[in-house]
Each structure stands twice: as C-alpha cells, then as structure tokens.
Amino acid sequence: MTDLSARRLLLVHAHPDDESINNGATMAKYAAEGAHVTLVTCTLGEHGEVIPPALRHLTGTELGEHRLGELTAAMRELGVEDFRLLGGKGRYEDSGMMGIADNDDPACLWQADVDTAARDLVEVILEVRPQVLVTYDPDGGYGHPDHIQAHRIAMRAAELAADAGWEIPKIYWNRVPRTVAEEAFARLRADLPGLPFGKAATVADVPGVVDDERITTVIDGTAYAAAKAAAMRAHATQIDVAELYFALSNELAQPLFTTEYYELVRGERAAREESDLFAGVAGAVTVKEAS
C-alpha cells in the first residue's frame, strides 16, 4: 500500500530502458531516501533493435517478454519496487520509429485513443497520488511516436485526475542543458580512442536538449552513478555501457549523465534553481523524516 505521508514520484516512459537513461540517478536517489517511486512504462518495446548478436533472434512478443525481464532487473538496481505497464501487460504495443509501417498497427501506442490510454494512467494516479510527475516534452524528446504519445497521455491523465480529485502539484519534463551536453561531448571526443565505440554521437542525438535558461531543476545523482550504470546495463538488448559512456543500436557513443535535469512546466517554483523535485510541496517528506 502506498504511504500517503511520503514523497511520491510518478514517471511515465515509452519503453523499457528509457527510464534508466533519462532518470536512473533520480529514481535511485529518491528510492534510497524512502520516497515512493512509481514507474509506468507504456509499451514493452517489441520493435526495438537488438544489440547483442546472440539475442537478435528475439522479435515481437518474444522480445517484449525479454525486455520486461530487463526492466525488472533494472528496477532492482535502482531500488524501485513499484513499476507497471500502462493498462496491463500487452495493452499497448511498440509503434516503431516514426514513418514506418508499424505506426499504422491498430494495437500500437501511436494509434491509441489518448483519452482511453490516459484513463488507464488515471487509475494509477488516483491510487498513488503522486506529488510529482515526470515525463517527456511534446516532441517526446526526439520525435519518437511512442515518446510523443507518452507525453500526451501523461499530460491528459494529469488533467483527468484533477477532475477526479487529485491534482498533481508539480509536473516536469526531462531536459539536458545545452552547455552541459556540449561539454560532455567534448570530453567524449577526447576519450573516444580508449572506448569500445568507433564514433561519437552529437548533441543533436540527445533527447530533450534545450538552452540552459529552460532548466529549472538539477538533481545531483553522483552518489547513484553506479546504480544508474547498472540499470542501463540490465537493458542489454538496447544499451552498451562503457564507464561514463554508452551507445544504443546505432553504435554511436553518448555521455552517461549522472546529474539529471528537468523543466518545471506545472506548479510553483520554490527557488531560483531547484535541487529537489519536491521543493515547495507541502507535507512531502521522506519516510526517514516521517519515522
């Protein structure tokens, strides 16, 4: 049962692995502090491209089952016990990248009615009663149809939940400040000869990069860097991790950010630059503080 005296954080993501890449340090930090962290994943990523040759036989439903196992292992690394699939297992399928035939599958998330899918999320919101919701920006960070749809569903669910009696005090979108990304890629280019990756990605390949002034909240996850890296490694079909860097199926190296950044889009800012997603939320205390 959810402890309604505790801090309660809800994250909405499109596929298994998105949560660890975007918010792994944040999730580990708040879970370790005793907050109730809930992850809702919208699909099982049935159309993801598989990296390890030994696992490339996995496709469709079989891949989705495997990725659910990876998600379970990743949550164990982050200390998160409450993770769910939107509408239940298999309710919404991966839509694939934008512009391919999979986008037209009636079973995929991209084709789902937003209000119908949002009502599935409202059930979770009314149970957990989160004070903070984290999801993507309207472009889904980089234009993937499932990420865009996850954003729409999360924002609509927040509206419907408010009508049903629970208004989420603060809503954030995942972000990366441009100067931080540029500095991290400069380090990556210097380190690249010693890494198992042949080429580097670019700042444009990182979801959610915005000008620095858009950033409202900085979560220092340095203490949870190992947990984030371990969670990312658990998603072995999708991510190849090497020290402070990682690559997806395109084999282009990217920085692994252990400080994570957010833009507050709904709710009152408690400070010029927040260091806590729950800043200013009345009664939001850690379990340790409450005990």
Which residue ranges form the domains of the chain, and what is each CATH number?
8-266 (3.40.50.10320)
Q: What is the pLDDT of residue 250?
A: 95
Annotated binding site: 15, 18, 147
Residues 6+ apart with CB under 8 A from 234: 20, 70, 71, 73, 74, 76, 77
For the chain, the distance separating the N- and C-terminal CA atoms, rounded to the nearest angstrom, is: 17
Give the global pTM: 0.95
Helix (H, G, I), strand (E, B) or coil at 123: helix
C-alpha span between 45 and 95 (Å, rounded)? 8
Annotated binding site for Zn(2+): 15, 18, 147
Q: Tell me if 122 sits within 8 A of 136, measured CB to CB.
A: no
Query: Cα dist. 106→12, 43, 65, 145, 258 in Å?
Result: 22, 14, 20, 14, 37
Tens-place pLDDT, residues 160-186: 999 999 999 999 999 999 999 999 999
Backbone angles phi, psi at 268, to 5 degrees: -90, 130
Query: Cα dist. 159→146, 153, 156, 257 in Å?
Result: 20, 10, 5, 31
pLDDT higher than threshold 90 for residue 243: no
281-289: average pLDDT: 62
pLDDT higher than threshold 70 for residue 75: yes
Q: What is the pLDDT of residue 216?
A: 97
Q: What is the overall mean pLDDT for the chain? A: 95
